[in-house]
A and B are shown apart, each in its own frame.
Chain A
Amino acid sequence: MGRVIARRLLQAIPILIGLSVLMFAWVRALPGGPAEALVRADASAAEVEAVRESLGLNRPIWIQYLAYLKQVVQFDFGTSLMSRQPVRAEMIDRFPASIELAVSAMIFALVIGVPLGYYAARRYGSALDHLFVASSLIGITIPVFFMAYLLKFVFAVQLGWLPTTGRSNARVESDHPTGFYVLDGLLTGNLGASWDAIQHLILPAIALGTIPLAIIVRMTRATVLDVMNEDYVRTAEAKGLTKFRISSRHVMRNALIPLVTIVGLQLGLLMSGTVLTETVFSFPGVGSFVAGALFARDYPTIQGFVVVIAVMYIIVNLVVDIAYAYIDPRVRAS
């Protein structure tokens, strides 16, 4: 197992270097530049040139790249042009928000999707099964932003049950030792703050979790159906085991194997889905910030976040592989 992990980590190095070169070249190929983005609207060309010079943008590009690489290995991603905060501080601030949102969306998708998928498989061919399959197909096809607007309009604007924007109520005082607001409330004994954070998470999490939910329903249904037709399940039934024991020990454990891969991949995809959800709900996470950075040509932010998100993808995939090996002994043996 150790060798597998080490090999995967070594494989990640050339991927990251290649990615950093691509990012660096691509961002600089965009029209306009950081100096133009930094000055006021009516600045003169001479003022822009002065800023270019201060920023070192007139140096050869490879020197700029090496300087950038040197900073990156020290986890210094520069300062955001938009917010003028260090990009690292923005990351520390915003990643917990998006991770909290993505995890909430995944919990929503799993808690509802797995039982529904299982139920549909057990009632294979019934009207309910057909309804679930058709609904999940529609679920996959609804764009995230549409779902987000719909939920916001109905449950926040019209019914007024949940907040429309942000991550917490501005009037609620709270401390954030970890940046994960729900957890922070629990850690600091401020249950009101935790509840407030949960209220702010519900609609974005549902909007973001819709597609994974639909996929998980279909995936669970398909794998449960496969597993139920396996010989060992028939054997277990013939042995007279209880239904619960058969489904928990023989069916679900085996059905979970492909599901773990899907959850891992979906978690990665959810991070990109946060762009739209966070924008609709003005949720201060990574997605909305990077989207803003792209429009503002905020080079340091774009570069920094892309590198870190790539690292996260690699880690998530690694974790999925390990989890896969843990659940499926055949993978370990190979």
Chain B
Amino acid sequence: MILTAGAAAVAAAMLASCSGSGASKTGGGDSGGTFVFGSSRLPTVLDGAYVYDNESQRVIYQMFDRLVNVKPGTTELTGELATSWEVSPTGLDYTFHLRDGVKFHDGTSLDAEAVCYNFDRLYNLKGPAQDLAEYWRISFRGFAGDKDSRYKSCEVKDPATPVLHLKERYTPLLASLASIGFGIASPTALKKYGYQVELSGDSMKFVGTFGTEHPVGSGPFQFKSWDPGKKITLERFDGYWGDKAKINTLIYVPIADGQARRQALERGEIDGYDNVAPQDVAALKGAGYEVEERPPSNVGYLAMNQSFEPLGDLRVRQAIAHAVDLDALLKANFLAGAVKPKSFLPPTFMGFNPDVITYDYDPAKAKELLAGVSNKKLDIWFATEVSRPYMPDPKSIAETFKSYLEKVGFDVTLTGRPWSPDFLAGIRNGKAPMYIVGLLPDMADPANFFTLFDNQPKRWGPLPKGLLTHIKQAEEAPEDKREALYKSLNQELMEDLPGIPYVHAPTHLAFKKGVTGFVPSPLFAESMATVSLGG
């Protein structure tokens, strides 16, 4: 130890004497508008059609505009490339009026033809590309040749007016179009570089280079370079139709470990990072860093699969709900700012219902409900090797549930499984009786939360048929009727109690001192164009 640490000290001292401070000398926030952002990893591809994760969204969002978007920091829809739109009374035709004079990064015009080219290319994706196009499948259900596809066509009414025609009504469509899956890309670049996906061994590879080397959109930043595994560099697009980005160069670097991201920020190697560990929030604030909090728009819940006994019995599910002190659970596992849920839907979404049935902490009532129930064995699954805003430490949350449930007489086993694929596959295939999981929304629509219940039937066991019918009805109902339908759905869901929502948790980003203009979004729709480095 003396030897090796001594040698280390000598080497480092020699270095320090000749170099001074490493990163802060070579760069820094005042180095002419270069912003370095620390992500937990880099995107898989820069074509929004093929991604479904926040780290990819973060980068793609800066380069592509959508027809519609959400207002910064909210879930409220607003125009982006479209200044206005009309939906026909049947809900089958969407007419968009495009902003004038918008150019792609390659100098070509963004007009109705370009918009329709984008929709048609997604509709006509083939083979493995279809497997990756998650946003399209969620919104339009099928591709060319599929009978149940909602997409009919895209019509160029005039150069500034594309019209989307659907085969069946899907009211969350506008919210869905605000996602990165529907960023409008340059048709010239798509044709020139290609966007095909092919099978490659046990995986899929991007044969076209649009998404890997030549992503061209119309957003405030344009692509400069991608050094795989190391960094992605974007540059300000001076031909942007809106307010130009304040920083010149935007670099994303991957740092998987949250503690390492914090250290990199403190050392000036990066200017900001996401997913600040809850325990670091106060320390960073205290040290003068700019800490931004996303509104708590997610939900964490303890699911109860009704295929497993005794969970098929409503009294048992109610007893479980009454047995747990959620206030104490939040206090033990989350920071201030975490919200105790009323139902699965967070308050930031349309259709939130504050007056649903609630299950207060009442161990005596739980015991009363359990009278006559002989099988009190429960098995709660939690994910290992993962941390999410709604479960910073899944094991600790599982243990809290266990301790409360055992107090009212349950015999609880905890089962830890690696997040992907074991845990997620266990849920999907109906092998987990109870499990702690959650949802991070990416659409400004309550449907985001309710599709959970009809998309994977095995994960819940038998749910009331009425509930599933009502979920479908709420998706398809005219806009003005939906709020009431979702309010009633919240009540219906909490009556059936397929799970216990335990948290809407805030998430945090940290920036170096002086950084301004970042608007945290409940949907991760966060532009870096408004960010400036300050002094």
Which residues of chain A have a CB within 8 Å of any CB of chain B? 31-34, 36-45, 47-48, 50-51, 54-57, 67-68, 71, 76-86, 89-90, 93-94, 108, 112, 116, 131-132, 135-136, 138-139, 142, 147, 150-152, 155-157, 159-172, 176, 192, 195-196, 199, 202-203, 206, 210, 213-214, 217, 279-282, 284, 288-289, 292, 295-297, 299-300
Residues 127-173 of B at the A interface (beta carbon under 8 Å): 127-128, 131, 134, 137
Contact A165 B264, beta carbon cutoff 8 Å:
yes
Contact B228 A163, beta carbon cutoff 8 Å:
no
Q: Which residue on A lies nearest to B418, using beta carbons?
A: A295
Dominant SS among interface residues on chain B: mixed
Can you list 12 residue pairs at the A/B interface with Cβ under 8 Å? A37-B421, A38-B204, A45-B456, A71-B201, A89-B228, A131-B3, A136-B3, A162-B12, A164-B267, A195-B19, A284-B229, A288-B256
Q: Contacts A71-B201, A157-B266, A164-B260; is A42 near B4 (CB within 8 Å)?
A: no
Interface 9-mer from B23-31, B115-123, B319-327: B23-31
Interface 9-mer from B333-341, B401-409, B424-432: B424-432
Which residues of chain B have a CB within 8 Å of any CB of chain A? 1-5, 7-8, 11-12, 15-16, 19, 21-24, 26-28, 31, 34, 36, 42, 44-45, 52-53, 127-128, 131, 134, 137, 199-206, 227-231, 251, 253-257, 260, 263-264, 266-267, 269-270, 385, 418, 420-422, 424-425, 428-429, 439, 452, 455-456, 458
Number of A-B residue pairs at CB separation under 8 A: 239
CA separation between A199 and B19, bound complex, in Å?
9
Q: Contacts A36-B421, A42-B439, A167-B230; is A86 near B200 (CB within 8 Å)?
A: yes
CA separation between A93 and B227, bound complex, in Å?
9
Knowing that A55-B199, A151-B12, A161-B15 are A-B contacts, what are 4 other residue pairs whose CB atoms are under 8 Å apart, sorted by A's residue number?
A: A54-B199, A77-B201, A90-B229, A280-B257
Q: Which residue on B lies nearest to A55, using beta carbons?
A: B202
Contact A171 B34, beta carbon cutoff 8 Å:
yes
Contact A86 B205, beta carbon cutoff 8 Å:
yes
Which residues of the partner chain A approach B202 to less than 8 Å between Cβ atoms?
Answer: 34, 55, 57, 78, 81, 299-300
CA separation between A289 and B200, bound complex, in Å?
19
Dominant SS among interface residues on chain A: helix
CA separation between A217 and B206, bound complex, in Å?
50
Which residues of the partner chain A approach B52 to less than 8 Å between Cβ atoms?
Answer: 40
Contact B203 A161, beta carbon cutoff 8 Å:
no
Which residues of the partner chain A approach B269 to less than 8 Å between Cβ atoms?
Answer: 163-166, 169-170
Q: Which residue on A lies nearest to B204, using beta carbons?
A: A79
Which residues of the partner chain A approach B456 to less than 8 Å between Cβ atoms?
Answer: 42-45
Contact B425 A170, beta carbon cutoff 8 Å:
no
Contact A214 B267, beta carbon cutoff 8 Å:
no
| Most A C-beta atoms less than 10 A away, residue of B5, B36, B128 | B5
Contact A139 B267, beta carbon cutoff 8 Å:
no
CA separation between A139 and B385, bound complex, in Å?
30
Q: Contacts A45-B428, A165-B263, A170-B253; is A138 near B1 (CB within 8 Å)?
A: yes
| Most A C-beta atoms less than 10 A away, residue of B127, B199, B428 | B428
Which residues of the partner chain B approach A57 to less than 8 Å between Cβ atoms?
Answer: 202
Q: Which residue on B lies nearest to A160, using beta carbons?
A: B21
Which residues of the partner chain A approach B15 to less than 8 Å between Cβ atoms?
Answer: 161-162, 199, 202
CA separation between A297 and B424, bound complex, in Å?
13
